[in-house]
Every structure is written in C-alpha cells, then in structure tokens.
A and B are shown apart, each in its own frame.
Chain A
Amino acid sequence: MRPFKYSTTNDINVAVKMLQVKGHAKLLGGGTNILDLMKEDVEHPEELIDITGLSYTQIKSISSGPNAEGISIGALCKNTDTANDPIIRQNFPLVAQAILAGASAQIRNMATNGGNLNQRTRCSYFYDIAMPCNKREPGAGCAAIEGINKMHAIFGWSKDCVAVHPSDLCVALVALDAIVKVMGAGGKERLIQFSDYHRLPGTDPQKDNNLQQEEIITEIQLPKNNFASKSYYLKVRDRSSYAFALVSVAAAIEMAGNQIKQVRIAMGGVSHKPWRAYEAEQFLINKTPDEANFNLAAELEMRNAKPLKHNKFKVELGIRTMVRALTQAMNGGKHT
C-alpha cells in the first residue's frame, strides 16, 4: 500500500473542506472496500479522512417536510445496526433482508451505509491493475467486454464499461424510492433521488455516481410505504452465502382487494446501477398476483436485456428470480 496520511474529524464541515482543498483525499468509513482497493493499488489517496466520528449514526422517524412519516438512516450507521433496528425490521423489512444478504457478519459490523452506497465494482479487470479498465484509468479500454464477463451487466452497459454495482442494500433502496441526503461546500445540503444517485457508465465510467468530489453522504431517507407485509429480497449466487449476486431481486407489493395496487421491483447484479424494473412494475398494476402474471412481467422486463458472451444465463435467471421474489413477497416475505 502506498503511504497516506490518516486524519480524523468529527466536524462535517471540516471534512467537506478537506475534500475540497485536497484533491487526493478520500473518506474512510468502515474501510472494508477502500482499504482492499488501496492494497491492490486500485485506489491511492494521499490522505484518508476517517469520518466514523461524525454524528450521522442514528435511525429516526422524520417528523415534517416532504418525507414526513418516513425514516432517516444515518450514513455512518453500521450495516448491522441498520438491519437490526426495530423500525427497519418492522416497517422496511426489505432493507434489512437486503443488507443481511450481503457480505458476512464481520463485514456488516464494520461497513457504514454511506460506504455501502459508494463501494466500487467487483469487476475483476477493475481490480487487476495489469489489465486495461476505463473505470480505473479513463481511456485505457475495457478488458471485460471481450473477456470473462460472466459477472457483468446485461442492462445499460456501454462499449466503455460493462461492470455492475455490487451492493445489495442499494437494490432495496432504489425499489423503495429512497433519497440520499448529502452535505456539500459551504454547509449546503441537497437531496438526490436514489434512482438518480448511481449512474450508467456511458463514456465516463470512472464516475460511479453523481456525488461531487467534496460532498459527503449524511443520510438515507425512506418514504413511508405500505409494502412491509409483502416484500422480499432474493439473492442468487454461486454459493449460498458470502458471495456477490449473479442476480438479485427486491420485490414489494401493495394490494387493493385481490389486485396489485402498487409494486416495486429492482434488480442487482445486472447493471452499473441498481436496476429498477419499471416495465415489469407497469405491467403488474391492477393485475392479480399470480404466477402467470409474474412470468409475463418478468419476460417483458428481460426482453430488453443485452447479455454479453458469458452471461446469457442471467436473462433466464433474471426471469425466474423475479417470479420467485414476487411470489415470496406475496407469501409475506418469509424466508423459506
């Protein structure tokens, strides 16, 4: 690992200022991603600013404003504490399940929510500094597009990058229309819709998201919803635990009588950003929640997939995972 300066602050404005002034400084949350990448020489900040002392660690109800009755989750709150918060488990079980589907107990104990959003792709060519990668080194080329791309994107990729975003938590957050609250220069805060937070690669895949260099995530807000009794996060991977998703689906349903009133479907492991399955959602509104309809919806969505050489299986797997996740959601979201 290259030498770097370690500093710490419990004042967010100081942290923002440091990012602003020092172009080569980066934030340190739990460190589970950035340290790994620094060991591999993929990231080489000259300074790490430890922000785990900032006060954004709480989970609390929002009392006023556009998101009243929703919940605010601190960016510095640990993944484990988020998943086990009684309000999250009761009212946003999809979020708890998605967190618990990721990594291991040890890593979730260390990882912060902000760090989870900003974790970088696990594309093996991104990790291997001997290989060309536009995300790591703009203009170098993409080794994955013609390489072993089993783990890569089937939606929204560009000729410059076929990497996928690895987070499970983010799949649940995009499904539930979360909002990312960030603090910027001069104490200026802004809210970003979760679906606008991460980016598709386009011609500048080095940018994973729309955060400015000096901005820090402070909170994730979840609007109130009626999905708690019918939601499920299903993750399919090469082994049954402690592995990144081949495909995952977050499904949430609200019924009106025996028809679907509202439905949210998002997929992980398929794109550069957590992928909202809008077409499948549209199809299911006012339909009965049966397997035939789930299948039609999933096929409709996956029709748009553009698989690569080694990940054609993700299309059929995506259909089956979506149908199963929706079915489990209808069954009360229990793990079976």
Chain B
Amino acid sequence: MKEGNENLRLTEAEKDLFNQVMPEDLAEIVTGGIQRRHFLKLLTVTGGALLAFQLFDNHEVFAQSLITNSTVGIENGVKVAFMVNGQKKQIEVDSRMTLLDTLRERLGLTGSKKGCDQGQCGACTVIVEGRRVLSCLTLAATCEGKSVTTIEGLANGLELHAMQAAFIKHDSFQCGYCTSGQICSAVALMTEVKNGEASYVTPDIRLPGHSLRLSDDEIRERMSGNICRCGAYPNINNAIKEVYSGKDVPQTWQFSS
C-alpha cells in the first residue's frame, strides 16, 4: 500500500477545521493533499473535541469564515458579532487578532491592505460606524455590535462608488497597494466635510463648520494619513476634488495614440 501518495479528500467540516487550526496550510492541503495519518495525528494533537466543530457558513468556506460558538482551540478566544459590508458576521477570534487580519484572513476580504501594521501608512483604512479608522490598530474584539465598511462594500452591485470611479478616471494610483485605503479614507472625508469638521489647515478654526471649503491644502492635510509610495498624490487630489465639487475635473493623462 503506497500510503505516502494517498491523497486526502477533505469534507467541508474538515476543511473548516484545518482553516481554524492551520489556515496557512489549507490551500496546499486541498490541492496537494497530505497523508491521512498526519491528519489524524494533527487531530490527536489539537484535541478530538474539534471534530465537533461542524458549524459553518456554507457560502463562505473558501472565504475562510467561521461561524462558531465553540471556544475550543483558541487561546483567549473572544466572540464577536458585527456587520461587515451590510452582512452579519459572527466569529470567534484570538484576542490578539486585529480587524485587518480578521477581514483578510478570516473573512476573505483582502481588499484592505497591510502596509506597515503600525498605524504609519493608512493602507488598512476602513470605515467603522461611519468613521475612517486604521484596521491594523483595531482589535477585532472591540468591533462587537459595530458596522464595518471595507473597499469591497463601497460599490452598489456593479455600479462603482463615485470615489472609485473618480480614482479610475484620474489614474489615482500606480501599483494600487495604497488605493483601497485611499478610497475608504476619501469616502469618509466627504462625510467629515459635510459635518463641518476642521483640520489643522482650516483657516479659522473658530468659525462654525458650515463655512468650510475643501481647498487643495485641505485635501492634502486631511489625506496625509494615507501614504502613497508611488506618489500618485496629485491624481488622488483631483479625484477627490471631482467628487467633492460634483463637477468634472479634467484628466491630466491621455491614452497614447
């Protein structure tokens, strides 16, 4: 018997389990297979109780989402129920999990990017309860009952959000790594301006908020929490200006003929 070549066909529940215990290996196991005895050994090591772990959301097995009320297997596990892009999510996370890692690795929403993981770049910007925040410095555990919007949640079906469309029109990116953070940031910025919130460069901070005008200086200051390594700043600025003014801002680029 050539046991070494025996490929493993995982049931959905088993996949789920692997996803929970060794998520980084799941893809390899599904495509490449592993020896069944290793699998069994793993089960012994991690505790047979995990086999009872059958609750999962069918639609999201590959989006790596787990809905569970089991506390087995996660040290300092915290249960969180929150809304992500209008959908209710209920998961259990290690207390150390950031919102960013939860979105990317547990919910399969990889649009939010990890640039620095230290609050210094803005690539991980998402909107929580209507406000832009850094998901890399937000613990998932603190999101209980909150509503999170990521880049994946901005479009309305196939219709892009105005800010997404403006970024495309103005070529507001090069490599695109910072873009989802830039767009989420810019979308929240529109609300801040509507609410009359001030910035450090607001000419007279004592004047009531509704006198606010979004100058180029204001846009630059308010977007300074989103670093673009490719330096697409002028084009990001133009996209935001277009959405803010509701008026056409000419593109500064053309297709070559």
Contact = CB atoms under 8 A, between A and B. Distances in A.
Q: Does A pair with B?
A: yes
A109 B122 CA distance: 13
A86 interface: yes
Interface stretch (B1-9, B195-203, B237-245): B195-203
A110 interface: yes
Interface string B122-136: 100100000111100
A32 B133 CA distance: 10
B205 A97 contact: yes
A52 B142 contact: yes
Contacts of B225: 103-107, 242
B75 interface: yes
Interface residue range, chain B? 35 or more
A36 interface: yes
Nearest to A36: B118
B114 to A, nearest CB: 12
Contacts of A332: 204
Instruction: Give the interface size class of chain A.
Output: 35 or more
A335 B227 CA distance: 24
Contact of A109 (B133, B196, B208, B227): B133
A213 interface: no
A306 interface: no
B115 interface: no
A86 B195 CA distance: 12
A100 B122 contact: no
B110 interface: no
Given A86-B208, A89-B205, A228-B206, A36 B137 contact: yes
Interface stretch (B23-31, B60-68, B169-177, B216-224): B216-224
Interface in B104-151: 117-119, 122, 125, 131-134, 137-139, 141-142
Contacts of B141: 6, 50
Contacts of B198: 83-84, 89, 96, 100
Given A3-B76, A6-B78, A84-B209, A101 B200 contact: yes
Contacts of A333: 204-206
Contacts of B138: 31, 110
A105 B192 contact: yes
A335 B132 CA distance: 25
A6 B76 contact: yes
A260 B6 CA distance: 88
Nearest to A38: B96
B185 interface: yes
Contact of A334 (B75, B142, B203, B227): B203
A335 B202 contact: yes
Nearest to A99: B200
Contacts of A4: 76, 95-96
Interface string A20-46: 000000001011100110010000000
B189 interface: yes
Nearest to B201: A335
A48 interface: yes
B201 A105 contact: no
A122 to B, nearest CB: 11
B205 A106 contact: no
A181 B226 CA distance: 35
Interface in B228-243: none
Given A90-B206, A105-B222, A240-B224, 6 more contacts: A4-B96, A6-B141, A48-B95, A80-B131, A80-B197, A93-B205
23 contacts: A3-B95, A6-B95, A31-B139, A35-B98, A35-B139, A48-B95, A83-B198, A84-B196, A84-B209, A89-B198, A96-B205, A100-B199, A101-B200, A104-B226, A105-B188, A105-B192, A105-B199, A105-B222, A107-B134, A110-B133, A241-B221, A335-B201, A335-B203
